[in-house]
Amino acid sequence: AHFDRISEAPDAIPRLRRFILDLAVRGKLVEQDPRDEPASELLKRIQVEKAQLVKTGKIKEAQSLTAIDRTKTPYEIPLNWEWAPLGETINSHLGGGTPSKSNSGYWDGDIFWASVKDVGQTKYIDETIDRITKAGLADSSSHLISPGNLIIVTRMGLGKVSINRVPIAINQDLRALSLSSLVSIDYHYNFFKTHGFEGTGLTVKGIKVGELLNIAVPLPPLAEQHRIVAKVDELMALCDRLQAAQAERENRRDRLVASSLNRLNSGTDASAFHDQARFYFNHLPRLTTKPEHIQQLRQTILNLAVRGKLVPQDQNEEPAAPLLRTINKELCSTVGISSLVLMKRDDSVLEPKEFHHEIPNTWEWCELQEISVFINGKAHEQMITDKPGYILVNSRFVSNAGEIVKYAKEQLSPLFEGDIVIVMSDVPNGRALARCFIVDGDDKYTLNQRIGCIRTSSLLCKKYLAMVLDRHTYLLRYDDGKKQTNLKKIQIVSCPVPLPPLAEQQRIVAKVDELMALCDKLDAQLTTTHTDSRRLLEAVLHEALATAM
């Protein structure tokens, strides 16, 4: 009844699968048949079978098991079921081992050799990633396991389970359980998919063989075990179809979002652009159903902003060319021509480059060095402290929007209100390269090494320039995404900047702020929707598990 809403929860289908299995092992998935032989009688027949196998030497005498305390079982089961130690339904069990890795003659043979990597990915093991030779099997503590065993991980991935359909050898982290012919291995597999293992150990959590064999299993009559397995298979196939349909819907939606945003980004025809923009924003709630959709929208907003497509141009405004010349003169008179590396150019459009896209005719392309002075930070290693002092502007401060994590005892490289700071060095997995931040307020800041300062004219909108530079594709081309990456001063000051008239810069920033606030709301709504869907899912499943069929 609530599936459309429940399915919005990110983990709806996996939770539904788990729900089906929970119902199965509680006796709530199929009806009980009073004509079935009770599980208590089934256990007696299993003991007779075991005794006969021991007598004929096919299995060893089983170790003693701990009786189940009926008052401590995790949930109620039907009257004709029984709680039994796992060892009661197992005829034998085998561990494994690993042939010497230094002996090449033990590996790449014809014998499948299973490790944790091969278990739990799918229900059945039909092949393994690694293989060993007969010599490797003979010269190790591994065993060749015949098909039809329950393979369970006892450490390093505790609780993963599969059934082998081919002969395999196993390593020391696995245990192969050979079940009685009077129980369903598929039912036991389903049970283990619901069982929460609690391992022991200081470094790697594992479970000992004795603990494994004493796990309490809810055992139905044999006929009901088969009916449960059939119903589980039927419902899991339904889940497969639901998951495939959901994946296809999401895939279509992803393609629609990507296509719509791509047309917005690349379209040149004004009327077509406005039609595309109107379509996207009219269908915004339907098109932004995942965090990545909203992130794509944010990037599109910035992309449109720096192309002059986010706000209309006013032909009555003074174009950017005189503004650029005025800023050049101001910087030269303020800091001296020797402190600047100005680009030689005339009033014509800059020669097209890889990172120059089409801009309105009132805009100008310039390099960062034409409109700003660049200052390198200085090392503060011996003066960094946790006690309040000068606020240290480092990569974490910039990427976390002004979060103060360290202070400096001295102000080696002072910053002023309106300075734009940029991260020049990434750390592994940091992904902060080229992140920008505008210094705000009268607090005393000091610039750390590998952080640059861009100090520009009061004739520029600082927020516009920071928006252009933040994670600029021109700068990110130096980021290989694998190891620490550094930006050099020359790379930063050569960064191409699309420069609008000052009034338009301010309008762009206002519109970006407005649309980013909308994105924030969409993010919050998405989180709320997912949370509400997850809570509804929890409530429905809890109620279903708490009541009988």
Q: What's the confidence (pLDDT) of residue 477?
A: 79
Round to whole Å and give the CA distance between 47 and 57: 15
Count of CA atoms in the C-beta half-sphere (13 A) of 203: 0
Q: What are phi and psi of 446, to 5 degrees?
A: -140, 140
Round to whole Å and give the CA distance between 151 and 113: 12
**DSSP run (H or E) holding 506:** helix 502-546
Q: What's the confidence (pLDDT) of residue 271?
A: 56
499-538 as b/e: b if 16+ CB within 10 A: bbbbebbebbbeebeebeebbeebeeebeeebeebbebbe
Q: What's the confidence (pLDDT) of residue 389?
A: 85
Strand 390-393 to strand 384-385: parallel, antiparallel, or no bridges (unpaired)? unpaired
> Is the pLDDT confidence value at 117 over 70?
yes
Percentage of residues in the chain having pLDDT higher than 70:
84
Q: What's the confidence (pLDDT) of residue 346?
A: 40
> Is the pLDDT confidence value at 122 over 60?
yes
Bigger pLDDT: 38 vs 398:
38
Going by C-beta distance under 8 Å and a sequence separation of 6 or more, which residues neighbour residue 167? 111, 112, 144, 145, 146, 147
Question: For the purposes of burial, counting CB atoms within 10 Å of the CB of 476, is it exposed (0-12), middle (13-18) or buried (19 or more)?
Answer: middle
Q: What's the confidence (pLDDT) of residue 388?
A: 85
Picking from 300-314, 328-342, 511-525, which range would have the lowest pLDDT averaged per residue?
Answer: 328-342
DSSP character at residue 307: T
> Is the pLDDT confidence value at 284 over 70?
no
> Is the pLDDT confidence value at 482 over 70?
no
Q: What's the confidence (pLDDT) of residue 542?
A: 66
Q: What's the confidence (pLDDT) of residue 341?
A: 42
Task: List, as one string, the DSSP characters of 216-241.
Answer: EEEE--HHHHHHHHHHHHHHHHHHHH
Q: What's the confidence (pLDDT) of residue 203?
A: 65
- Name the β-bridge partners of 358: none
Q: What's the confidence (pLDDT) of residue 351?
A: 46
> Is the pLDDT confidence value at 344 over 90?
no
Amino acid making up residue 220: P
Q: What's the confidence (pLDDT) of residue 291?
A: 83
Residue 338 confidence class, pLDDT cut points 50, 70, 90: very low
In this prediction, residues 199-214 reach a mean pLDDT of 83
Picking from 118-127, 143-152, 380-389, 453-462, which range would have the lowest pLDDT averaged per residue?
Answer: 380-389
> Is the pLDDT confidence value at 474 over 80?
yes
Angle among Cα 45, 46, 47 to the nearest 5 degrees reads 90
In this prediction, residues 409-430 reach a mean pLDDT of 83
Report residue 106 as tokens: 């033990």
Picking from 308-317, 371-380, 478-487, which range would have the lowest pLDDT averaged per residue?
Answer: 478-487
Q: What's the confidence (pLDDT) of residue 343?
A: 43
Q: What's the confidence (pLDDT) of residue 44?
A: 96
> Is the pLDDT confidence value at 328 over 90?
no
Picking from 153-162, 169-178, 401-410, 448-457, which range would have the lowest pLDDT averaged per residue?
Answer: 401-410
Q: What's the confidence (pLDDT) of residue 200?
A: 75
Q: What's the confidence (pLDDT) of residue 16?
A: 86
368-402 as b/e: b if 16+ CB within 10 A: bbbbbbbbebeebeebeeeeebbbbbbbbbbbeee
Q: What's the confidence (pLDDT) of residue 209?
A: 92
Round to whole Å and give the CA distance between 445 and 424: 18
Mean pLDDT: which of 67-81, 140-154, 303-317 is highest? 140-154
Strand 168-170 to strand 107-114: parallel, antiparallel, or no bridges (unpaired)? parallel
Size of the chain in residues: 549
Instruction: Bin 385: left if φ > 0, else alpha if -120 < ψ < 50, else beta.
Output: beta
Question: For the purposes of burial, counting CB atoms within 10 Å of the CB of 56, is it exposed (0-12), middle (13-18) or buried (19 or more)?
Answer: exposed
Mean pLDDT: which of 51-65, 274-288, 400-414 is highest? 51-65
> Is the pLDDT confidence value at 142 over 90?
yes
> Is the pLDDT confidence value at 371 over 60?
yes
What are the helix (H) ranges across 167-314?
185-194, 209-213, 222-266, 270-282, 284-287, 291-305
Q: What's the confidence (pLDDT) of residue 299?
A: 87
Q: What's the confidence (pLDDT) of residue 399?
A: 81
Residue 352 confidence class, pLDDT cut points 50, 70, 90: very low
In whole numbers, what is the pLDDT of the chain averaged over residues?
85
> Is the pLDDT confidence value at 178 over 80?
yes
Picking from 221-230, 273-282, 484-493, which range would have the lowest pLDDT averaged per residue?
Answer: 273-282
Round to whole Å and give the CA distance between 268 and 263: 9
Q: What's the confidence (pLDDT) of residue 149?
A: 97
> Is the pLDDT confidence value at 81 over 90?
yes
Q: What's the confidence (pLDDT) of residue 281?
A: 64
Q: What's the confidence (pLDDT) of residue 345?
A: 44
Q: What's the confidence (pLDDT) of residue 342?
A: 43
Round to whole Å and give the CA distance between 27 and 187: 12
Neighbours of 79 (CB within 10 A): 11
> Is the pLDDT confidence value at 283 over 90?
no
pTM strictly above 0.75: no
314-352 as b/e: b if 16+ CB within 10 A: eeeeebbbebbeebbeebeeeeeeeebeeeebeeeeeee
Mean pLDDT: which of 11-15, 162-166, 325-329 is highest? 162-166
